[in-house]
Structure formats: structure tokens, C-alpha cells
Chains A and B, each alone.
Chain A
Amino acid sequence: MHIVDGALSNPVLIGGGIIAAAGVAYSLKKLEPEDLPRVGVLSAVFFVVSLIHVPLGFSSVHLILNGLLGIILGWAAFPALVVALLLQAVFFGFGGLTVLGVNAVNIAFPAVMVFFICRWGITAQQQNLAKLVADVLFAIFFILSIWAGVSLYEAFQVEGATWRVSVNSISLALFALVMIYGYILYRRKTLSVAGFWGFLGGSLSIFFTSVMVAISLALSGDEFVKAAEFVIVAHFPVMAVEGILTAATIQLITKVKPELINAVR
């Protein structure tokens, strides 16, 4: 998720920097002083969550939670992420200073997109409409991601079977299972409508982020399919986990502190 220094070409770096600066400026203009503690806390959440690499099996992973940031903060995700990414780069050499803008845009822009898509669903007064849209969105997202995964899988099968290919197919299959299971939970009303929108937002944001990372690598000369194979397929498990975590968080927030996201109970 964090692209390092030296991987991107200068136009991409400058473009990312300008977009990030514009995003921060716009959000600071919109920001109310009483929202700032919330921004700070969620910035700290991102900072910590993406530093803790959970060692599992032969690999280790970290969460991003930009879906949650987007749903709660909206545009304010920009300053929150820029500050957290800056500190990660300075303290731990995670990412880098020149790629700060690109990284911030890659993570914050999907957050804002999720804000516009899911905030409505979570706060909607017309529950039936929200349910219908959630179903359609889920179907589109599910088919799109499975299609992307399968086509990337096939693109790599042509090149010869490596263990990565089989690992990728397992990760894709498990992602599909978790998504279907999430949908079943929602149908059985274990997951509320708001929770299901959170579920969608959590996984959508990671999907957008990985597509944007693949695009920024492709713009710098990496072959798109190869870059996409690495980032998108590697993110399928993260999509599943973040979907569940965001769903649980949003469901809890709508129950105990709905005013945080102006949600209806």
C-alpha cells in the first residue's frame, strides 16, 4: 500500500502532490474546529493500525481502514492521512517523503469516494431504498472484483504456473466466501442495513485503493497487469477483513453513538 521512494516517475509524484495538497486545502476549509479531535483520533488509528504487521503463516499483513476513515470523516480523511503518512515516513521509513502525496491520494481519495457512496446508505431515512441500492452495489462490486481476480489469474496462468498463482486463487476464493457470508448475515439481519453499508464501504475502499496504486505504478512504466496482479489480488484478503471490521464498527457506532455519523438508529 505504501509506495516507496524511487518507484514512481516525477510527473506522477508531482501530480499526486498537487491533488493531495488540494484535497487537504479543501477539507481544511470545510472543517469545523469541533471536528478536529475526531480527525486526530482516527489519524492515530490509521497510524497504529497500518504499523502493526500481524505475522501469520509465512507472511505479515497490516490493515488500512480507509473505508472507516472515509465514512466517519469524509473530506477530513485527507489531512488525517497526510499527517499519519508523514509521521510513518519520518519515523519508520514507511513510504517516503517524495511519494507522500501519491500515497495520500491513493488512500484518501477512495475514503472520500466511500464517504459519498456509503454515508448516504448509512444515514438514509428510506430504509427500503437503502436496502435496494445496497443489494445492487453489492452485486456490482462482487461481480467486478471476481471478474478482475479471475482475469488477472488467467493472465498469469499463461505465463506459467507459479505458487503465487495458486495462492492468488485461494485468496480470491476466500474473499468470495467472506463476501457471500457477509451478505447472508445481512439477509438474516445479524448485520443491520447500516452495518452492511459499512461492510461494502470497507471493502470498496481497499478495492479502489489497490486499483489506484496499480494505476500509479502503471503510469510510471510498470506493466499494468503485473502491477495489478500484485496489488489487487494481494488485497483481496484485506478487502474481506476490512469489510468485516468496518461493518462491526459501523454497526456498533449506529447503536451507541449514532450522532458520530448522523445515523438513524
Chain B
Amino acid sequence: MLYGKLRFAALVLASFLIFGLSSNAWAHKVISAAYPDGNLIEGEIGFSNGDMAKNLLVEVFDTAGNKLGETTTDEEGFFVFTATKKIDHIFRANLSAGHIAMLTVTADELPDDLIGGSIADATGNQDAASSEKDAAVPSNLSDTKLVVMDQAALEKLLSKTSKEVRSLRKELAQYKEERRMQDILGGIGYILGIFGIASFLLGRFKTTKGA
């Protein structure tokens, strides 16, 4: 009998191990992020456990629902889309089994040299951009010491910075996904509290069996 019980426990353990062999796409949350870099929009789609969505079709829409184009993710779940208009881009990917990744890149994250959604919009944007530029340039330019940098060095620095920002964003996204102990304990507390109040209320309206 003891032998049988031990085997039962072993069976429970073994069946937990079965889990490792199955791909449980449904068990996770979809994580996705898009980082505009010039007129390129880079993004990634994956699951919260670290599995990335491979070779997945990503469709791009504007806010009105018109399709702007599509792209596919590579082996590491990354996709690249070249924006041609300075409008809001909505990326939508169906990971099937009820998982939808939805990303929005707003117009002001894109560079100003792109054509706007409409002509009036575009001129408006350009006006705003040019006035911003004017304000940004210090009026007493001659007084400031300018560090001269060649184009290559500047580009190198920029790509380094954007890489760093990207990894920071990724970490932030991961941090948001983390389930912390106090959240779980808090959830249990909420549940017990809700049912405590419910039993109080129910007790006022219904008499108990014994009474």
C-alpha cells in the first residue's frame, strides 16, 4: 500500500514534468513593444516567458483602420517597418489561440521630415517643427563652445544611445510584467474581503439553515 502511495506521488511529479514538453502558448501574456528609430519602426513581439513570436505576420493600420502595409517578424520576434507618413501607426498581430498583440506608434514619435496624413496636417507639423528648431538654437551662437563631431562619430553615438534606450525599455517592460509577492497576497486579501462582505450582506437577507 505504501508502495502504491509512493508511486502515486511519483506520478504527480512525473505529470508535472510532462508540462515541460508541451508548448503552452495559451498560458502566457503577450508582450510587445515598438521603438521608432528615424523613419524605421522596430518592434518585437513575444510571450512573457521569453518565447518570441517567430515568422509572424504583422499588419499595419492607421487610426481609421486603413491598411498601410505588413511585415513579418524574424526568428527572434523582431520586425521592422518603414514609415512613410507621419501619422499614427497601429501594429496588429494575431498570435492565434486568443492572443493579439496591438501596438501604437504615435505620429509625434516619428521624424518630422515624413509627409503628414493630410497636406494641411503636414504643413502644420512642419511649421511647428521649424519653430521648435528656432527655439532650440541658442540665440548667442557665437558665445557657445561647439564641440565639432564628424558625421560618422555622431551616428555611432546615436546608434549606441538608441540601443541603450531600447534595452532600458525592454527591461522596463519586463519589470511591469513581474508578478510580485505582495500583489498576490493583496489579491488573496481582496478575495477574502469581498467574500467576507458578501457573507455579511447575504446573512442579513437570508436566514441561516440552523436558525
Interface residues of A (CB under 8 A from B): 1-8, 28, 31-34, 36-37, 39-41, 43-44, 47-48, 51, 53-62, 79, 83-84, 87-88, 91-94, 164, 167-168, 170-171, 174-175, 178, 181, 185, 188, 190-191, 213, 217, 222, 226-227, 230-231, 233-238, 240-241, 244-245, 248
Contacts and interface: CB of A to CB of B under 8 A. Distances in A.
A7 B100 contact: yes
Main secondary structure of the interface of B (DSSP, over half): helix
A47 B187 contact: yes
Nearest to B3: A190
Interface stretch (B26-34, B113-121, B155-163): B26-34
Which of B18, B22, B196, B208 gathers most chain A CB within 10 Å? B22
A241 B198 contact: no
A91 B183 contact: yes
Interface string B31-44: 00000000000000
6 contacts: A40-B196, A44-B187, A164-B23, A188-B4, A236-B22, A237-B22
Contacts of A4: 29-30, 98-100
B11 interface: yes
B123 to A, nearest CB: 35
Contacts of A84: 191
Given A44-B188, A53-B27, A178-B11, A36 B100 contact: no
Interface string B158-201: 00000000000000000000010001101110111011101100
Main secondary structure of the interface of A (DSSP, over half): helix
Contacts of A237: 15, 18-19, 21-22, 24
B99 to A, nearest CB: 6
A33 B128 CA distance: 64
Interface of B: 1, 4-5, 7-8, 11-12, 15-30, 49, 51, 96-100, 102, 179, 183-184, 186-188, 190-192, 194-196, 198-199, 202-203, 206, 208-209
Contacts of B5: 190
Given A33-B206, A61-B24, A88 B187 contact: yes
Nearest to B192: A40
A190 B4 contact: yes
A244 B12 contact: yes
A227 B20 contact: no
A122 to B, nearest CB: 18
Nearest to A234: B24
Contacts of A61: 19, 22, 24, 27
B187 A174 contact: no
Contacts of B26: 1-2, 213, 230-231, 234-235
Contacts of B186: 91
B153 to A, nearest CB: 42
